[in-house]
Structure 1
Amino acid sequence: MSLFSKFRGPDDAAAGAAADPPPTAAQPAEPIALESNSYPVWPSDRPIVVGRPTPVFEPVAVGDEFRRVPYRPDTVLDGWSTGAFTVRAASMRGHLHRHNGAPRQDDLAITHALGHRLNVAVADGVSGAAQSHVGATTAVRYASQWLADSAPAGDSDIEWHTLFQYAAWALIEQTVTVLGLPEADAGLADQLLVTTLVVGACDALADGTVSARLAAVGDSAAWLLSGGQFIPLLGGKSASAAGLSSSAVDGLPRVPAEIATARAIVRPGDVLLMGTDGFGDPLGGGDGQVGDLFRGLLAGRVPSLVEFGHALDFSRETFDDDRTLVAIWPRPQQ
């Protein structure tokens, strides 16, 4: 039975009942052969359903009110291994934006150096800001490059406040490009380009573990998947005294006086996750069906790029936000 059949609807589960379990990364999947010039049936032609699904529809093109240059795809999918790390990453429009023609407001960027340093940035443009997708892309590209150029190696402290201040200024400067203004306008950036940002500098250690230094503004978050548990490291929705999550989002270009930071050691068998609330909200504490799905996907194995993206594009009623997730596994040094 397919690893993910338990999360599909009854018809999907029956259709996949005879499928073999997905192979691990060390055992590549057998290619699907074409026979009699017919297209093979492949499980990814349907979304993985968790609980009650969202309606099925053809995505709508991005509307005229949003910038069309540079081109912004519905989905970004990336993954590779280098030195001490294996990475899988995906960013995609949620069902709401696919339905109403808004662009993908999430984005991600990753840089690596000499196989022993990985720099990751994930951002979620705030829905109420009309050009927040531009803000998200600007923030992740600036932050990942700043970490590559300026973050010290090892356990040294990173000047997080400096990073977020410079990233905020990069957003403000975008008002010249986006609006054609003669000079940058911080007020308009705060209206149009608002975005969350979570960043991480990951260093390979001699004992085969990875040291991660993390920081965030807004509700994008980081988790450690260890021993089958999703351990929150930082970010995520804040809760009221009554235990209710707040929908209010802080974001750049406003930089808080105190930056949320965290450190973690990622051991072999663990997975470091960084993502937006499109993943974090349905994950919750990791004890439900979404947690089960991603435990099966990530724990003890590395999925293919397409498998990773297919799982992140799961269908669950009311959870229709854009989703971005980066997964990092320590990789034994050769």
Structure 2
Amino acid sequence: MEQVQEYAEADVTWDQPELTEPHVIGREPRLVSRPGPLPAFRRPDSEIDGADLRGLTVRAASVRGDMHRYYGTVRQDAMGLWQDNDRMLLACVADGVGSKELSHIGAVTACDVARSNLPDFLAQTTDPTRAARCFVENIADDIHARAAQELVAPNSLSTTFLAALVEDLPDQSRHHVTVIRVGDCTAWLLRGSVWTSLFRNQENEEGVANTATFALPRDVDRVEVRTGYLHPGDMLLLCTDGLAKPMRGAEVRASLASWWSQGPPPLVDFFWQMSFRARTHDDDRTAVCVWRA
């Protein structure tokens, strides 16, 4: 019989990695950054995801805000990543309206059904605005159906929504991007270390977005569309207002640019970066970053 060698506990050593607290940008927040009571509706505190696709690298994270952690309430943000084929990426983020108790269900539903509603959008790509309207109307119908399943009013599931379709072009020199939103989720382009907002009312520290109250399933007529291209070295950021609001500050934009202009970080590093803390900004925070190689 093979002899089993025993080791005393003192003989076994483990390398302990250096783990740091989330980075604080600006003034120290008042709330601690750790989970409190468990929410009545069980969802993970946070999510991370990512992908390496042809010509694209994706990092995504959804982090429960310190306020929701402190009170033991559910994360109302959601996100989704879908690869329709080897040439197309669909990414989306959603933010349940804070005043609606079941809005997290609306946010999750919007992201979950986005892929199944993509064919109707692709059938009308010659008219991006019409296609986007059809896309969000179908998602709104699915939210209505989920509300009926939950036996609640559809507005109880109110959520903002933003999606981006990133398509590999035949010449392989760039990717075509279509960004669709209802509400105050937003999108940025990072080129070099310079941020460019794809939507208005996101650039100024004191600015207040005029779409803050628009949400699905009600405001399907408030859809906005932007189209453009990702060139090598570019990064597309999709985010909820939990990140968009602190990004009105130059210091936050500079910190994110210094991290993300270097290219895609490892998943764990991306989650740490997304967990930065900034005073008065304690909402849920969700982002999908798409780097063009």
Question: What's the TM-score once normalised by structure 2's chain length?
Answer: 0.87
Counterpart check, 1:174 vs 2:146: yes
1:16-55 pair list within 5 angstroms: 37-38=13-14, 40-43=16-19, 45-54=20-29, 55=31
How much has 1:38 moved relative to structure 2?
A: 4.3
User: Aligned match of 2:187 in 212, 222, 239?
Assistant: 222
What is the CA–CA distance in structure 1 between the aligned matches of 2:92 and 2:201, rounded to whole Å? 15
Conserved 8 A contact 2:136-2:220: no
Counterpart check, 1:189 vs 2:160: no
How much has 1:197 moved relative to structure 2?
A: 0.4
How much has 1:52 moved relative to structure 2?
A: 1.5
Q: Secondary structure at the match of 2:114?
A: helix
Q: Secondary structure at the match of 1:261?
A: strand
Partner of 2:32: 56
Counterpart check, 1:261 vs 2:225: yes
What is the CA–CA distance in structure 2 between the aligned matches of 1:293 and 1:243, rounded to whole Å? 20
Conserved 8 A contact 2:187-2:197: yes
Conserved 8 A contact 1:88-1:326: yes
Runs of 5+ in structure 1 lacking a partner? Answer: 1-34
- Larger mean Cα displacement after TM superposition, 301-310 or 149-158: 149-158
Matched letter for residue 187 of structure 2: A
Identity %: 31
Q: After superposition, give the CA deviation of every residue in 1:108-143 in whole Å (9 maximum; x if it has no partner).
A: 111113321001111000100001110000001112
What is the CA–CA distance in structure 1 between the aligned matches of 2:214 and 2:222, rounded to whole Å? 12
Conserved 8 A contact 2:263-2:291: no
- Name the CA shift for 1:244/1:57 in 2 (closer, same or farther; >3 Å): closer
How much has 1:146 moved relative to structure 2?
A: 1.7
What is the CA–CA distance in structure 2 between the aligned matches of 1:63 and 1:303, rounded to whole Å? 31
Conserved 8 A contact 2:184-2:212: no
Partner of 1:24: none
Q: Secondary structure at the match of 2:187?
A: strand
Partner of 1:30: none
Conserved 8 A contact 1:218-1:235: no
User: Aligned match of 2:281 in 319, 322, 325?
Assistant: 319
Matched letter for residue 259 of structure 1: V
How much has 1:279 moved relative to structure 2?
A: 0.6
Partner of 2:122: 152
Q: Secondary structure at the match of 2:62?
A: strand
- Name the CA shift for 1:173/1:155 in 2 (closer, same or farther; >3 Å): closer
Q: Secondary structure at the match of 1:168?
A: helix
What is the CA–CA distance in structure 1 between the aligned matches of 2:239 and 2:57, rounded to whole Å? 17
Q: After superposition, give the CA deviation of every residue in 1:67-96 in whole Å (9 maximum; x if it has no partner).
A: 33xxx1011100120122210000010111
Counterpart check, 1:162 vs 2:138: no
Question: What's the TM-score once normalised by structure 1's chain length?
Answer: 0.77
- Name the CA shift for 1:58/1:122 in 2 (closer, same or farther; >3 Å): closer
Conserved 8 A contact 1:283-1:290: yes
1:86-235 pair list within 5 angstroms: 86-147=57-118, 149-152=119-122, 156-158=126-128, 159-178=131-150, 181=151, 188-190=153-155, 192-205=156-169, 206-234=171-199
Aligned residue pairs, count: 278
What is the CA–CA distance in structure 2 between the aligned matches of 1:327 and 1:77, rounded to whole Å? 12
- Name the CA shift for 1:284/1:151 in 2 (closer, same or farther; >3 Å): same
What is the CA–CA distance in structure 1 between the aligned matches of 2:137 and 2:49, rounded to whole Å? 28
Aligned-residue RMSD, C-alpha: 2.4
| Structure ranking higher in strand proportion | 2
How much has 1:207 moved relative to structure 2?
A: 3.7
